[in-house]
């Protein structure tokens, strides 16, 4: 994805600029603090002009140098993928007939990493990127990126019991399993909406087992602001996104 599109997509072309610290960070020069220090020490040039102001902006086509060395932003890519049931979130194949998510990706995108796996029997939204910082932002609980699931279960307790149990948390095999929210969408169909702030191995299935029920279908619809229930994506298909779309809904 072009660094000068992303969150700025749809705005007038004159505004398609990025702050110098973001540009340098996107090129893998260092942390935000590291690159800010480089700018403040006057070690950065834009089109041959030394800059020391963190509010300096870089436009497409500008030449940026640090200590005389030309700097180019990394080619970061960001996608969402609708994983079908029976497909494994893995780069390794453990059986000749086993399907993995990379079977669905074009050859040029098979270097992408996934953020938050879904088990083989689950389906829905998986985020893919070659941007390690972005993957970390999505997966680490401290960043509070929520994930929404539509769960079809064999048996449902009263809604107040389900909500209280899931939100309070369940101790299971040494883990505390908690949901941010849980409510029954359709009792007749056994359909429950569950929102998690973090994901542990088989968390939702283990939570339903704790109330005496088994999960029939588990569909992750949302990660952050990306929602394939509101903006449908066919099973097995990809859609390019920007980090800002997922993190901030922009």
For residues 165 and 211, the answer to whether their CB atoms sit within 8 Å is yes
pLDDT at 13 over 50: no
Instruction: Give residue 238's pLDDT band: very low, low, confident or very high (50, 70, 90).
Output: very high
Strands in 64-178 per DSSP E: 64-66, 69-71, 78-83, 87-88, 99-100, 113-115, 123-129, 147-153, 170-172, 175-177
pLDDT band (50, 70, 90) for residue 42: very high
Which tokens go with 54?
A: 């963190």
The residue behind tokens 């610290």 is: 21
3-state secondary structure of 222: strand
User: In the structure, what pLDDT confidence band is assigned to residue 4 with cuts at 50, 70 and 90?
Assistant: low
Distance, CA of 114 to CA of 135 (rounded, Å): 7
> What pLDDT is attached to residue 11?
32
Average confidence score pLDDT of the chain: 89
Higher-confidence position of 87 and 7? 87
Mutual orientation of helices 159-168 and 203-210 as an angle, nearest 10°?
130
pLDDT tens figures, 111-140? 899 998 899 999 999 999 988 878 888 888
What are the structural domains, with CATH classification, of the chain?
6-71 (3.10.290.10), 78-141+226-248 (3.30.70.580), 146-223 (3.30.70.1560)
């Amino acid at each position: 994805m072009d660094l000068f599109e992303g969150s700025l997509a749809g705005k007038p072309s004159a505004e398609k600029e990025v702050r110098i610290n973001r540009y340098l960070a996107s090129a893998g020069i260092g942390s935000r603090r590291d690159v800010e220090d480089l700018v403040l020490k006057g070690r950065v040039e834009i089109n041959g002009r030394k800059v020391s102001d963190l509010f300096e902006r870089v436009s497409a086509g500008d030449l940026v140098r640090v200590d005389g060395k030309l700097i180019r932003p990394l080619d970061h890519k960001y996608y969402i993928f609708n994983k079908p049931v029976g497909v494994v979130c893995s780069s390794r194949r453990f059986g000749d007939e086993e399907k993995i998510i990379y079977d669905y990706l074009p050859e040029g995108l098979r270097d992408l990493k996934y953020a938050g796996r879904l088990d083989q029997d689950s389906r829905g939204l998986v985020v893919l990127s070659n941007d390690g910082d972005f993957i970390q932002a999505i997966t680490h609980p401290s960043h509070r990126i929520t994930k929404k699931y539509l769960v079809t279960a064999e048996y449902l307790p009263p809604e107040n019991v389900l909500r209280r149990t899931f939100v309070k948390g369940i101790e299971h095999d040494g883990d505390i399993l908690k949901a941010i929210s849980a409510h029954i969408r359709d009792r007749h169909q056994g359909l429950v909406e569950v929102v998690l702030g973090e994901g542990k191995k088989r968390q939702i299935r283990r939570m339903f087992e704790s109330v005496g029920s088994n999960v029939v279908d588990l569909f992750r619809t949302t990660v952050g602001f990306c929602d394939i229930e509101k903006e449908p994506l066919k099973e097995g298909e990809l859609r390019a996104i920007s980090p800002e779309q997922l993190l901030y809904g922009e």
